[in-house]
Amino acid sequence: MNKRLLLLSGLTAVLAACGTQSTTPATGASSGTLVPGQIIVKYTPTLSSASVKPLGNTQVLSATGADGWGRLALVQVPEGQEMAYAERYAGQQGVEYAEPNFRVERTPQDTGTLVLQTVRPGSAGGSLRSAATGFSASVTDPYFVNSPVDANGKNPFDLTAAQTADGRTAYTDEKYLWSIYRVQAPAAWDAGYTGKGVVVAVIDEGVDLGHADLQANLWQNPNPTSTTCPGQNGYDFVDDDADPSDSGGHGTHVSGTIAAAANNQGVVGVAPEARIMALRGLGYFGGTNYMLARALKYAADCGADVANNSWGGSTRTRAFEDVLRYGTAKGTTYVFSSGNAYRDNNRPSYPASFSTTIPGVIAVGATANDNRRVPFSSAGSYVTVSAPGGTILSTIPREQSPNEPYAFLQGTSMAAPNVSGVVALIYQAKPDITPEQVRQTITWSANSSITGQNSKPDYPTGGNFGYGIVDAGAAVAYAKNSLR
C-alpha cells in the first residue's frame, strides 16, 4: 500500500484531538509477538551465497548481501513450528544462530498523541536570549525565541524554585523549545559545535522528506545505487524500496528534535547542521526484528555516526545484540528510548537494555520541565542518562497539518532524540571519538544537580535518571579537553 495513503488514514484520530495538549506518552513501538511462519537465520561470513539453502519445507524470503559480518536471511517455515525450525537451522554448518522473527508494533496511543496545540503569541527575547552570543544569537526560529502564553496569560513552562526537582532552580520566560535550552544546546553552538559534518540515522517510521525544517539537512548518499547503501536519503526496510517517507509522523517528530535547521521558521534541532539519514524500519502497522536489524546495520555500514532508535520492546533477541556489537565496533553510537512501561510493571526494554553490556549503546529516560522523571518513563540500571521528553514541540508531516506542521508529543521517544542531537555535537567536537568514549562523555558531563540526585548514577535509588540530564555545553567541553 502507498505510504502516503497509510499516513492519511490516521488523520481522523489526529484531527479529532486537535486543540488540546497530549498527556499520553508516545512510545514508538513494543514487541514480543512472533511473526507466524518466519524465522531469522544468521549465516557465517565464510558461507558462500550458493550455500544458503532452505531446509525441508521452508523458503528463503529475503537475505542481505554477504560481507565480513555474514548474511542475515528471512526464512518462511510452517506456522506454529517457528521454534522447532529455528533449532534445526541453528544446528546446520555455517549457521551462527537462528531465532523467530518478532513483531515490533506501534502502540495505539501513537496516532492519538500527534496533537496540535493552538499557538498563542508570546514574548520574544527575555532572560534566556539576553546572554546569547555567536551562533545562538543568529537563531531566529519563532519557537526558539518565543514564549508560549496560555488562556490565563501565563507561561505554562515557567517554574518557581519550589516547583523544581532540586528545589532551588527557577525557570522564567521559558520558550516553546524549553528542552533545547534545558540540554544547554545553545552553549555548545556558541562554542562552535552545531553538528556540521555529522550524520544521524533516524530508524523509525520514516521522515517527511519535503518538510521545510528538515529538507536542507537530509543526508545525501554519495552512491545511491550501491547494493550495500541504496537510496538517496536512506532506505525503507518495511516496503524494501528507496523511499523512506514517513507513514505515521513519529519519525518526522524525532528528526526535528535532532536536526531541524536554523532557518528562521518553525523549530530548531539540538544539532541544527547535522544530517538526517532516514531509515524506515517501522510502518504504520509496525515492523519486525528483521527489518530493524537491517536498518541498524545500514546505519553502521553507510556512515552514520549516531543512530536514534525511539522504539523497543520486551524481547531480547540475538539479532539485535549481534548487529549492535557489529555497529559499535565500526564506530556508530546507538541511542535508544528506555520505554514507557513504568506504570506497567516497569518492564525492561530491548534493545535499550543492551546499554549495560555493549559499550556505545545509550538508553534514555524522559524528564518533564520540572526536571523530574515523567511518570511513564521506565527506570532502572539500564537507563544511561535522561533528557526532556514531556511536552516536546517538533516537526510533523505536512499532510497532517499543512499550514502548521508542528506538534507537541511526549514519551521517552522524544527524550532519545535530544540525546542523539547532543551526541552529534560531540562527534563534531571530536571526530575520532569511539562509541565507548561517547558514552563516557555523555555520562560524566550529565547534570545530576538539577535532578536532585543523591548519587551519579542514581541506580541505588531506582535509576530514575541514570547519570543525570544531558548537558550539551559540558559534553563538548569534556570531549574536547578531557578525552585522550
Which of the residues are catalytic?
204, 250, 413
Determine contact, residues 366/414, Cβ cutoff 8 Å.
Answer: yes
Provide the residue type at 53 as one letter: K
The three-class DSSP label of residue 14 is helix
Q: Is the dihedral of CA 206, 210, 216, 219 positive or negative?
A: positive
Provide the residue type at 463 as one letter: G
Distance CA 463, CA 457 (A): 7
Q: What number of other Cβ atoms are within 10 A of residue 305's Cβ?
A: 28
Q: Calculate the dihedral angle through the C-alpha atoms of 149, 152, 155, 156, rounding to the nearest 10 degrees.
A: -110
Helices 472-481, 435-445: inter-axial angle, 10-degree rounding: 130
Determine contact, residues 382/351, Cβ cutoff 8 Å.
Answer: no
Distance CA 304, CA 317 (A): 23
Q: Is the dihedral of CA 176, 200, 329, 312 positive or negative?
A: positive
Determine contact, residues 196/428, Cβ cutoff 8 Å.
Answer: yes
Give the DSSP H or E segment for 37.
strand 30-43
Determine contact, residues 207/245, Cβ cutoff 8 Å.
Answer: yes
Give the DSSP H or E segment for 257.
helix 250-259
Residue 14 gets the label, from left (phi > 0), alpha (psi -120 to 50) or beta, of: alpha
315: which 3 cell numbers?
524481547
Distance CA 103, CA 287 (A): 6
